[in-house]
Chain A
Amino acid sequence: MEALRAAFDFSDFRPTERWVSRVVAAFLLAFPLLPVSSFATATMIQFLMFSLYGMGWNTIGGYGGQVDLGKAQYVGIGAYTTAVALIRWDVPFWVSMPVGMGFAVLWSFAIGYPLFRLRGHYFAIATIAASLVLKDLFEVWDFVGAARGLEIPAHRFPTPDFVRLIFKEDVYYYYVLLAFFFGGVLYMNAFRKSRLGYQLRLIKDNEDMARSLGINVHWAKVKTYAIATAFVSMVGSFHACYIKNIEPEDTMSLDLSILIALMAMLGGAGSLWGPIIGAGILIPLKSYFKEWFGARAGLVGMDLILYALIIMVVSAAEPRGIWGLVERYRARKESA
């Protein structure tokens, strides 16, 4: 009950922030009603997916300061659970998604428990290694289609199918994902004010002090890692139903892991709006760059070169991300 009240309580934000978020929420709700191309809708779905990935990453990476670069393995677990369950046993999405989250959380304990003894770079690179091992396993495991991956035979089901989450029009996917998105924002709003949220921020600032105050640092990290994992795996399940064709290379690659971290970090790690801002800026840039340079001008790689330059400039000039710029502007205005 307390948590529910915290989730809907945005009163500690500034009036401007609350107004902007209301306008954005209204825009997101009305977006499919606008006369937009299917390309724009697909980009918006990507934006919502990556905001949710980023929110998950932000719990452990942003609030907790533990740089995790292996999130893609949990995307894969979620996506594969849903796809395998649907193809083999015709299990509906709403059942397979929580099951996938369960698998992902169990795996996150197996990975997180030993790894959270490490700090800094050591932890970051070890998460990559763990993720790559899992990816290699999936690439030879025949049960999940090995390197060819799996394809959900959408034509077998009458659409729209809300139980299996199989649709022909993107707009249905959009609204289902938007519901997840609002749920995610509310959850994160409660999380940031929860006991665990405060413990994590202390761990990030001064781990030794946290320990001396009697916080079980290791357990707090493992718990938060599980929460982040559940988030990511949930979106992974959605990804399976939306893309319908999953391969280890798409769902479990290092590039995806890093992209997830990038969204949250460039938007502003450790703030509620950070991942949303990051995804809101980077995803449209990425898809439109690709459209303009790759598809139209035929300059393969040009889109990613520009993209890489943006990443480099932001990480060198404003490491606290775009939200860091806002906070710096506010601090200057207040001191003036």
Chain B
Amino acid sequence: MDILVSSVVAGVLIGMVLALVALGLTIIFGVMDIVNFAHGEFLMLGMYTGLLTANATGMDPLLGIPVAAVVGYLLGVACYWGFIRFLLRGPMVAQLLGTFGLMLLLRNLALLLFGSEDRGVNAGLLVGKSVDFGMGVIVPATKLAAAALSLVSFVGVWLLMNRTRVGKALTATALNAQAARYMGIPTERMNALAWGIGGATVTIAGALIVNFWSVNPYVGLLFTMIAFTIVALGGFGSVPGALAAGIVVGLLMEIPGIWDSVAYATEWDWMMDVPVTSFKYTFVYLAYFVIMVVRPRGLFGWKH
């Protein structure tokens, strides 16, 4: 029973971080209807930024977050002005393959610069510590901090989108770019801003994740798929949807643990015989497929 509860808690906590990963993707998609395959690679660069700042300055990895945010913002804006702007004129297939090219580029630049080995943070204020909530729920401090800071970033972005002038202009661009242009909103700059915010949020998530997840240049694709799933579940372009969907996906990722704990508690042989633990992320992909077939607009979708 304890394992069940702690699996659920772990799922919710990782879900909050994953929601932050997906936030940038959903904003970019909402504003300009383009799917970014390189999203996971932004996250990977965020992870490296967090790791390298911590190593270079000797500070705690969590203090590398502002650096990661700046790197992500600049990277996003640069990608937009340098590349994505030209892709938007082409058909959808060119957009998909163009962002795939960007993904290959970033992944292999990382390979060239950082090498292919797994690296992780193994020093810092929070590393190795854990918080005991009673009832057998023991949470690593790094995961707890990551979830809390994700939530803070989430609220920050939500406030930016809904309570500021520039955020309202961004939302207007997302709703109807042509009408926004007639109202005097510089939509090109709004697109660039969306890429900047998208890049910054995902690199922040990367700097948080690197505290408990080792990084290598190939780590991006998994997170891209997870982010796609969250965006599909939460609805393309929906910010609150991303948070709820992130938590659902976090729980999906804990299914193997939950399955095992139920199997051991009940001692049902047929449950033990099913090799659920081997299907690490299959449930995430499967959920994506089912959601797409059943409800393409997502559970909280507002944009078709």
Using CB atoms and an 8 Å cutoff, list the residues of chain A in contact with chain B: 61, 65, 67, 69, 114-115, 117-118, 120-122, 124-126, 128-130, 132-133, 136-137, 139-140, 254, 258, 261-262, 265-266, 269, 299-302, 304-305, 307-312, 315-317, 319-320
Contact = CB atoms under 8 A, between A and B. Distances in A.
B279 A136 contact: yes
Taking each of B104, B109, B275, B278, which has the highest tally of chain A beta carbons within 10 Å of its own beta carbon? B104
B111 A300 contact: yes
Interface of B: 29, 33, 35, 83, 86-87, 89-98, 100-105, 107-109, 111-112, 116, 217, 221, 225, 228-229, 232, 275, 278-282, 285-286, 288-289, 292-293, 296
Given A132-B225, A304-B108, A125 B93 contact: no
A191 B275 CA distance: 44
Contacts of B35: 121, 124-125
A300 B112 contact: yes
Contacts, number: 138
7 contacts: A118-B293, A126-B289, A136-B279, A261-B96, A262-B100, A315-B90, A316-B86
Contacts of A67: 92-93, 96
A254 B220 CA distance: 13
Given A132-B225, A139-B278, 17 more contacts: A121-B92, A122-B292, A124-B96, A125-B288, A126-B293, A128-B225, A133-B282, A140-B275, A265-B97, A266-B97, A301-B107, A302-B112, A305-B108, A308-B103, A308-B108, A312-B102, A315-B90
Given A140-B279, A308-B102, A311-B100, A133 B285 contact: yes
A309 B97 contact: no
A311 B225 contact: no
Contacts of A300: 111-112, 116
Given A118-B296, A133-B285, A299 B112 contact: yes
Contacts of B86: 316-317
Contact of B109 (A120, A261, A305): A305
A304 B293 CA distance: 35
Given A125-B35, A126-B292, A316-B83, A301 B108 contact: yes
A133 B278 contact: no
A137 B92 CA distance: 30
B295 to A, nearest CB: 11
Contact of B98 (A114, A122, A128, A316): A316
B221 A254 contact: yes
B293 A114 contact: yes
Contacts of A320: 91
Rank and list the top 5 A-B pairs by shortest CB-CB distance, nearest first: A319-B90, A319-B94, A311-B101, A315-B98, A308-B104
Contacts of A140: 275, 278-279
Nearest to A130: B289
B79 to A, nearest CB: 10
Contacts of A311: 97-98, 100-101, 104
A138 B107 CA distance: 26
Given A300-B111, A302-B112, A133 B289 contact: yes
Contacts of A139: 278
Contacts of A309: 101, 105
Given A312-B102, A315-B97, A301 B111 contact: yes
A121 B292 CA distance: 11
Most buried by A among B100, B109, B112: B100
Contacts of A308: 101-105, 108
B104 A261 contact: no
Contacts of A262: 97, 100
